Amino acid sequence: TFTPNAFVEEVIADMKAKIGNDKVVLGLSGGVDSTVAAVILNKAIGDNLYCIFVNNGLLRKNEFENVLNQYKGMGLNVKGVDASQRFYDALAGLDDPEAKRKAIGNAFIEVFDDEAHQLTDVKFLGQGTIYPDVIESVSATGGPSATIKSHHNVGGLPDFMKLQIVEPLRMLFKDEVRRVGRSLGIDEELLGRHPFPGPGLAIRILGDITPEKVAILQEVDAVFINGLKEHGLYDKVWQAGAILLPVNSVGVMGDERTYEKVVALRAVESTDGMTADWVHLPYEFLMKISNEIINNVRGVNRVVYDISSKPPATIEWE
């Protein structure tokens, strides 16, 4: 049986032996895997671990600031890089889902490479790869490995990819990563976070991306996610989020006719994201959230709930 404490002790010793006095650079995503990997490496090599946390302008509301502060509070040597504009520029005018993913992946690699270049004598690239990523090496769910693969086909490798790789979680399943995180004293809220896709809100804004659309969706998403938390529903749901649809619908506000955006809410139950069922959220809850969104988020006058399961629908809309 798996014992988190024994694993931690062993992996720290391994990492120390492998890395010695060399430097490691690691990209933090705000997710469980990269965070646990970083805390382990930090315990093994201290400030020789250089973490980079990129704001791609496509994160949830206030996520960049909150998570960056959380990381600093955990004693990680982390640099926050706000590259939002660079991502918006790369996305401008793109409406094809795969083109959007590719643009985001390439922008991420460029930003990370720029940052890694500013560090001297780095020898290793740390990654939060877990066992399911290893088996599913061409990952259908994207993430760093898929990003790197699609870039790989495009041309030469960025410098940071010539580094040797260290993957402390390579043998673990997701629930084991959470248990390890818990034994390391990582905040329960961080360990219990819903999965969030690397391309972020860009694949929940159907069609082209603008900072204005991102701002609207961030507000809607925050109402929904905070509502789930307040009603004790967040932990009963595997993943949830909102989608900004590329259509306007007619509504009425006071005496005025409105013609504004429609958003869809999605909440699913799943174990691994490969299959998923929509969650039967209470009607009362949906009513409250719908009112709160329409009353508080300018530019939205209609809310719908996604009742599609995977397959044949996917969890994300793009």
Long-range contacts of 145-148 (CB under 8 A, 24+ apart): 146/105, 147/105, 147/108, 147/109, 147/198, 148/105, 148/109
30 near ligand XMP, judged by CB under 6 A? no
Among positions 267-296, residues that touch ligand XMP (CB under 6 A) are 273
**Three-state secondary-structure class, residue 43:** helix
Residue 142 or 181 having the CB closest to ligand XMP: 142
Distance of closest approach, residue 144 Cβ to ligand XMP, in angstroms:
8
143 lines the binding site for ligand XMP (CB under 6 A) = yes
CA-closest candidate to residue 268, choices 300, 303, 311, 301: 311
Contact between 279 and 236 (Cβ < 8 Å): yes
Residue 129: count other Cβ atoms within 10 Å of its Cβ. Answer: 23
- Residue from 158, 195, 207, 299 touching ligand XMP (CB under 6 A): that is 195
The residue at minimum Cβ distance from ligand XMP is 142
Piece in contact with ligand XMP (CB under 6 A), picked from 38-46, 74-82, 141-149, 170-178: 141-149
* Burial class for 98, CB neighbours closer than 10 Å (0-12, 13-18, 19+): exposed
Continuous segment of H or E residues that includes residue 300 = strand 300-305
Specify the stretch interacting with ligand XMP by CB under 6 A; choose among 45-53, 88-96, 193-201, 218-226: 193-201
**Residue 100 touches ligand XMP, criterion: CB under 6 A:** no
**Does 310 help bind ligand XMP (rule: CB under 6 A)?**
yes
Contact status: 141 vs ligand XMP (CB under 6 A) = yes
Distance CA 97, CA 151 (A): 16
Confirm or deny that 29 is annotated as ligand binding: yes
The whole-angstrom separation of Cα 206 and Cα 202 is 8
- Figure out which of the listed residues 197, 234, 245, 302 binds ligand XMP, where binding follows CB under 6 A: 197
Task: Flag whether 175 is marked binding.
Answer: no
Is residue 239 part of the contact set for ligand XMP (CB under 6 A)?
A: yes
User: What residue type is assigned to position 18 of the chain?
Assistant: K
Among 126, 128, 198, 227, the residue binding ligand XMP under the rule CB under 6 A is 198
Residues within the interface to ligand XMP (CB under 6 A): 101, 141-143, 195, 197-199, 239, 273, 310, 314-316
Indicate the annotated binding residues. Answer: 29-35
